[in-house]
Amino acid sequence: MQYQCGANLLELVSGDICDQRVDAIVNAANESLAAGGGVCGAIHYAAGRELAVACHAIGGCPTGEARITPGFKLKAKYVVHAVGPRWHSRADDAALLESTYRSALTVASENGVSTIAFPSISTGIFAYPLDEAAAIAIRTVARFLESQTQITLVRFVFLNEETFTAYRYAARRQLASASISAK
């Protein structure tokens, strides 16, 4: 599914984020930038040991921020490591998740990225409620795409139908508010 956000595109697809042919993929990282489970573990495995060495050299990343490394053995030139919040049902959880997406997009843009693929950040072992996280992700990305020209394509990539459905619903709700249009 494709949506127009200003002059840029937002896509929702099923697949493996490690296989995406984009300038950068986003890793749903932890604060230490160490290989973990889920998407993070898969990205580290596919990129090879050099990714762990590069992440160790960075020394970590606070929640709500992002860092960038080479993609090493991945098809993508870069990996943007974005640290989303663990769900605690606190008022600042949503602001931290929004900051995570904005920071990932900003870091990517500053490094010349024009196409980028995201997983669903914080909805795995960090336990963020899927519907709420999807709404925050779609809204934040759509606003970013409407306001700049460096990044021309943001692709959300999902391994399971439940996540794909939640993001599709969030995109339709955003579409209803006239921020984005189906293409």
Query: Based on the structure, what is the number of domains in the chain?
Result: 1
24-29 β-sheet, strand order: 66-70, 78-83, 24-29, 115-118, 153-158, 8-14, 2-5, 181-182
Residues paired with 117 in a beta bridge: 25, 155
**What average pLDDT does range 171-183 have in this prediction?**
74
The model's confidence at residue 180, banded by pLDDT at 50, 70 and 90, is: low
Q: Please state, in angstroms and rounded to a whole number, the distance separating the CA atoms of residues 141 and 158.
A: 16
Give the domain range for residue 9: 2-182
- Domain with residue 83: its CATH number is 3.40.220.10
Question: Which pLDDT does position 36 carry in this prediction?
Answer: 86
Instruction: Tell me the percentage of the chain whose pLDDT exceeds 70.
Output: 97
pLDDT of 178 higher than 60:
no
Helices then strands, each counted (H, E), the chain:
5, 8
- Cα–Cα distances (Å) from 123 to 34, 83, 117, in that order, read 18, 12, 16
Q: Which two tokens stand for residue 51?
A: 């990714």
Report residue 36 as tokens. Answer: 């973990």
Task: In whole angstroms, give the CA distance from residue 17 to residue 116.
Answer: 10
Q: Give residue 179's pLDDT.
A: 60
Which residues make Cβ contacts (< 8 Å) with residue 3, sequence separation at least 6? Answer: 9, 10, 11, 12, 142, 171, 175, 180, 181, 182, 183
pTM: 0.94
Q: Tens of pLDDT along 105-160?
A: 999 999 999 999 999 999 999 989 999 999 999 999 999 999 888 999 999 999 99
- Tens of pLDDT along 2-39? 998 888 999 999 999 999 999 999 999 999 999 988 99
pLDDT of residue 126: 92
In which element (H, E) is residue 117 found? strand 115-118
SS3 of 153, please? strand
**What is the spatial distance between Cα 18 and Cα 42, in angstroms, rounded to a whole number?**
7
Q: Please give the backbone phi and psi of residue 156, each rounded to the nearest 5 degrees, phi first.
A: -95, 130
Q: Which residue has the higher pLDDT, 4 or 84?
A: 84
